[in-house]
Structure 1
Amino acid sequence: MNSIKSILILLGILIVGVNQVGCNGSTVGSKTLAASVYYPTALSGDNVIPMSVGACGVDGYANEPCISVTICTPGTSNCQTIDNILVDTGSYGLKIFKSLISVPLTQVDMGNGYGLASCTGYLDGSGHWGQVVKADVKLGNLSTATNNPSGISIVTLDSKYSNASGCSSSPDKDPSEAGFNGIIGVGSFVEDCSVGYAGANGCTLTATRKYWKCTAVSCSMTTVAAADQIANPVAKMPTGYDNGLVLKLPSVSSTGAGAAYGYMILGIGTDAYNSPTGVTVFPVENDATFVTRFNNRDYEYAFIDSGTNFNGFPRVGGNPALCSGSTDFFCPATETTITATMKSGSVTQAVSFKVGNMITLASATPYSMVYSNIAFNTADMGETGSPSDADVPFDWGLPFFLGRSVYVGIKGTSATINGQTVSGPHWAF
């Protein structure tokens, strides 16, 4: 999960607040929900999972992509399906709030009375805490149990579980605060600790703030074997469906939509609907990033992230205009076209997107829960706070996925793309 994600979730909740979403997701007073849009082709198959955007329950927020996930006690048919799980291509592994789980799951034992815990912290001081447990994970009609009979590691989120310091001062307490029932991280790596290390899994070598061994009263950072680290469930699916996935979403008009319905499909090159041709393939770095060139500057911390609900880029030279009283969102007088160039090795691709007036869009009637053209300012998120910093984030968020089929190739696997064998990690669209 990218470190700015929780900030964007909070901003997304503000959008919902402006729109006064009712408990039934339809109307409040005179406010009426805009029409929904659907992927133009109905798809089905064992590896096809329906996905919604902007329709993730009463605590959901704008541009939030969700699916349902089934978890089981390893090796049994004792299972539970949980909906409103955020689909996040910017993180790794399944995390579900413990209060929602009714099936028995066993915590990873670290010996001497210690159990394994996981910590994810964000720039605004929020984060996620939880026990690392073993479970079978089912997506569509496929299960991680096929190749992992003892289960894979997932996290049961519980802000009260650990009193360890050094991670997050205010972890999300419950689904209402988070805006979802859980997160499924389906990025381009197998475990969260394989990100950022060339040819090595960092958490097997060094104790970091990602993993902790805890008793009922204390916790300390720990190394952890790769087999016990939080795993990308897609990478643990049956052979042939474990090399990646594709997200398919419909286009949305400039005024938005009440909801958008599409698909998350497991595997690349297994069926007609996940075999890409005529797409651009972008290899990614060991930290899952690439370069985006914008306003004659190279921003090295660029990423594609379905879990960030809007596009984010640095405001340079006073454009686009910011919303009145805000340094966060853009509010140009008229819709503006932004063009930036993605770069990875010798591969370049210019991509254009629209930026509209956030206040106008969010206060419109009928109101929308899916937007292609709301964006936020990342100019002060670099090391020095200058928009010229190379490490200022360029976040290709959920709007990037609208109207596209976006493929995520997993490290250590290969797939046939454009008639050629391509090794992960990579993006293709």
Structure 2
Amino acid sequence: MRTMQSAVKLRGWVQAVVAVALVSVIAACGGGGGGDSGSSNNSSSVLNGGSLPASPTQQPIAATAANTVPITVARGVSGVINIPTVSVTVCAPGSSTNCQTIDNIQLDTGSFGLRVVSSVLNQSVLGALPVNTIGTSNAQLAECATFADGYTWGTVRNATVAILNPTAGIGGETTATGIPIQIIGDLASSTVPAKGCTGVAENTVSDLGANGILGIGTAPNDCGVNCENVNFSNYFACPGGSSCTPTALAPAQQVANPVAHFATDNNGVIVQMPPVSNTGASSATGTLVFGIGTQSNNALAATQTFTTDPFGNMANSVFNGTTMQAFFDSGSNAYFFADSSLAKCGSNFAGFYCPSSAQTRSITLGGLSSTRASVSIGILSASTLFGNTSNYAFNDLAGQIGSSSFDLGLPFFYGRHVYYGIDQTLSGGQAPYVGF
């Protein structure tokens, strides 16, 4: 899932919903255990004369400290592969008791802010989350978060957001005050604006593939200065909850990255995932670490770091001789890039690559600084990988997008620690960066 400068998100993982649903219905009772559920990494039947690069081997730290929470990749709510999820607690502002913990929230480093499907919230909590208003008429504030394949529509409300660690049994990270979040699907479909919301509505758990989205990338809020221009804003003023019209919105009023509003450990995150077999695994358990260089367990130990734009883009990356924008996006369930030399899958797995033999591709990453680093990725046929219907974690799944971007989705994260430094330049702090 990708938040671009105009707040348009690339929801690459959704391309798997239709294809993998055919697989996942059969595997409704599968998953769990995190084992290799496939053949040897380098078996001739899998490689078929091709080759794969060596897989990274870093392991996540144990999620036993207050600034850590477990990340789970498994079947989830609707059997979509490669969706990392965490649990999030939402409280009415100022209350420590009117709260609800929601599981299966997608961890998305390619977007910014918390979005929760309204149907998963109980009425006590939902009713206590005040709808934000704008203008002298106190019109309700709503957002249409537009993706490549659709949109989410709903009000913007204030809530205290806590990301607690049930394993540690202590502490956790909580926003110091209430922050703006999006409640997906709490407005009638008849209120969707004719302009500004295009594509398919994704306002339910089944359409979204998760109970919500936790966007914790490099930006402190949804779309920054772009949404201060009404022509580019994805926010709407809705008098009486209807007749919604576009409105400019200052960053402080936008859906906010919860991490940037923690009392401590608020300068970034580290996403740590374990290695998985090149033929997939039934599940994978990683660790989300809050803060970078703020505790003994979150030192900046990246081999390469790249200064980025506010949204985490490495705009000086090069693939196949073409300069393009690259980004690390845990919300995309595959690598997504354009390569005409790779065979595409048929209609059963539309959008994915199905090469006849294992493939390796390399991209040179470059951000706004002089740092350059080449990384190699492996690609196996989606039809081969999806042949094992109990697997939900894959490190070598790839698909196609336009030629201007290279999306290093969740497969890149397996066996790595990936760092995100949150943009603090407006307060005189650090520039946004990513690293691994």
TM over 0.5: yes
Give the Cα separation in 2 of the matches to 1:185 and 1:54: 19
Q: Is the 8 A contact 2:342 2:354 kept in 1?
A: yes
Is 1:5–2:10 an aligned residue pair?
yes
Pick one of 320, 328, 335 that aligns with 1:295. 320
Q: 1:425 pairs with 420, 424, 432, which one?
A: 432
SS in 2 for 1:274: coil
Cα distance 1:72–1:47, how it changes in 2: closer, same or farther (>3 A)?
same
- For residues 244 and 192 of structure 1, the distance between their equivalents in structure 2, rounded to whole angstroms, comes to 16
SS at match of 1:272: coil
Letter in 2 for 1:65: P
Matches within 5 A, 1:299-318: 299=324, 301-316=325-340
Q: Give the one of 393, 397, 410 matched to 1:398.
A: 410
1:164 and 2:193 matched: yes
User: Match of 1:323?
Assistant: 345
Residue 220 of structure 1: CA displacement?
A: 0.5
Matched residue pairs, number? 390
Alignment-derived partner of residue 278 in structure 2? 254
- Shift of residue 399 of structure 1? 0.6
Read off the aligned partner of 1:153 and give its amino acid letter.
P
1:311–1:114 Cα change, 3 Å: same
Residues 347/26 of structure 1: CA separation in 2 closer, same or farther (3 Å cut): closer
TM-score by length of 2: 0.83
Alpha-carbon deviations, 1:302-340, whole Å to 9, x = none?
211110100011114xx2222246772211222111111
- Select the residue among 423, 428, 431 that pairs with 1:411: 423
Counterparts of 1:179-328 in structure 2 under 5 Å?
A: 179-194=209-224, 201-206=225-230, 208-215=232-239, 216-239=241-264, 241-277=265-301, 279-290=303-314, 291-299=316-324, 301-316=325-340, 319-324=341-346, 328=351
Equivalent AA in structure 2 for residue 192 of structure 1 = D
Give the residue type in structure 2 aligned to 1:374: L
Aligned counterparts of 1:406 and 1:40: Cα–Cα separation in 2: 11
Contact in 1 for aligned 2:37/2:279 (Cα 8 Å): no
Measured in 1, the distance between the counterparts of 2:94 and 2:118 equals 20
In structure 2, the partner of 1:419 is none
Question: Distance in 2 between the 1:361 and 1:64 partners?
Answer: 16
Shift in CA distance, 206/26, structure 1 to aligned 2, threshold 3 Å: closer
Q: In the aligned structure 2, how far is the partner of 1:75 from the partner of 1:38?
A: 40
**Equivalent residue number for residue 18 of structure 1:** 23
Query: Which amino acid in 2 is paired with 1:42?
Result: A
CA distance in 2, matches of 1:40, 1:265: 10
Mapped partners of 1:217, 1:4: distance in 2: 25
The letter of the residue matching 2:74 is: G
Superposition pairs of residues 348-427 of structure 1, within 5 angstroms: 348-364=372-388, 367-378=390-401, 381=402, 387=403, 392-412=404-424, 423-427=430-434
The residue identity in structure 2 corresponding to 1:101 is: L
Identify if the C-alpha distance between structure 1 residues 327 and 179 changes in structure 2 by more than 3 Å, giving closer, same or farther: closer
CA gap of 1:45–1:327, structure 2 versus 1, over 3 A, is closer
Alignment root-mean-square deviation, CA: 2.5
Distance in 2, matches of 1:424 and 1:52, equals 30
In 2: Cα distance, 1:369 partner to 1:394 partner: 23
Matched, 1:340 2:370: no
Structure 1, unmatched stretches of 5+, are 195-200, 382-386, 415-421
Q: For 1:93 and 1:278, locate their aligned partners in 2 and report how far apart those are by CA, in whole Å.
A: 25
**Contact persistence 1:73–1:105 (CA under 8 A):** yes
Q: 1:242-271: per-residue Cα shift (whole Å, max 9, x none)?
A: 100000000111110001001111110122
For residue 285 of structure 1, report the CA deviation from its aligned partner: 1.9
Aligned CA distance change for structure 1 residues 225 and 327 (closer, same or farther; 3 Å)? closer
- Deviation track 1:142-194 (CA, whole Å, cap 9, x = no partner) reads 44443x2xx10001101626331211343213101211000011110111122
Q: Deviations for 1:279-321, whole angstroms, at most 9, x for unmatched residues?
A: 211010245311321112212x2211110100011114xx222
Q: Could you tell which deviates more after superposition, 341-350 or 267-276?
A: 267-276
Contiguous gaps of at least 5 residues in structure 2: 3-7, 39-56, 165-170
The answer (yes or no) to whether the contact 1:38–1:260 under 8 Å persists in 2 is: no
Give, in angstroms, the shift of residue 355 of structure 1.
Answer: 0.3
Counterpart secondary structure, 1:50? strand
Q: Secondary structure at the match of 2:234?
A: strand
The structure-2 alpha-carbon separation of the partners of 1:413 and 1:275, relative to structure 1 and needing over 3 Å to count, comes to farther
Structure possessing the higher relative contact order (Cα contacts under 8 Å, 6 or more residues apart):
2
- SS at 2:16 equivalent: helix
**Structure 1 SS opposite 2:11:** helix
Answer yes or no: is the 8 Å Cα contact 1:5–1:307 preserved in 2: no
Conservation of the 8 A alpha-carbon contact between 1:84 and 1:182: yes
Distance 1:405 1:12, change over 3 A: farther
Bigger shift: residues 271-280 or 211-220:
271-280
CA contact under 8 A between 1:39 and 1:261: conserved in structure 2?
A: no
1:81 to 92, 95, 101: 101
State the secondary structure of the residue aligned to 1:133.
Answer: strand
Distance in structure 1 (CA, Å) of the matches to 2:60 and 2:129: 39
Q: 1:293 to 1:225 in 2, by over 3 A?
A: closer
Q: Deviations over 1:387-426 (max 9, x none)?
A: 4xxxx22111001111000010000169xxxxxxx93300
Which residue matches 1:43? 63
Deviation at 1:55, TM superposition (A): 3.7
* CA–CA separation in structure 2 for the residues paired with 1:327 and 1:170: 17
Runs of 4+ in 1 over 4 A off after TM superposition: 37-41, 324-327
Q: Which SS does the other structure have where 1:369 is aligned?
A: coil
Secondary structure (helix, strand or coil) at the match of 1:129 reads strand
Please list the CA deviations of residues 56-95 of structure 1 after superposition, one character each: whole Å capped at 9, or x if unmatched.
Answer: 23x1410001000000001111110001000111111000
Residue 178 in structure 1 maps to residue 200 in structure 2: no
The SS at the match of 2:297 is helix
Report if aligned partners of 2:13, 2:331 keep a CA contact under 8 Å in 1: no
For the 8 Å contact 2:60–2:273, the answer to whether it is kept is no
In structure 2, what residue type is equivalent to 1:46?
Answer: A
Task: Kindly indicate whether the alpha-carbon contact (under 8 Å) linking 2:217 and 2:311 is maintained by their aligned counterparts in 1.
Answer: no
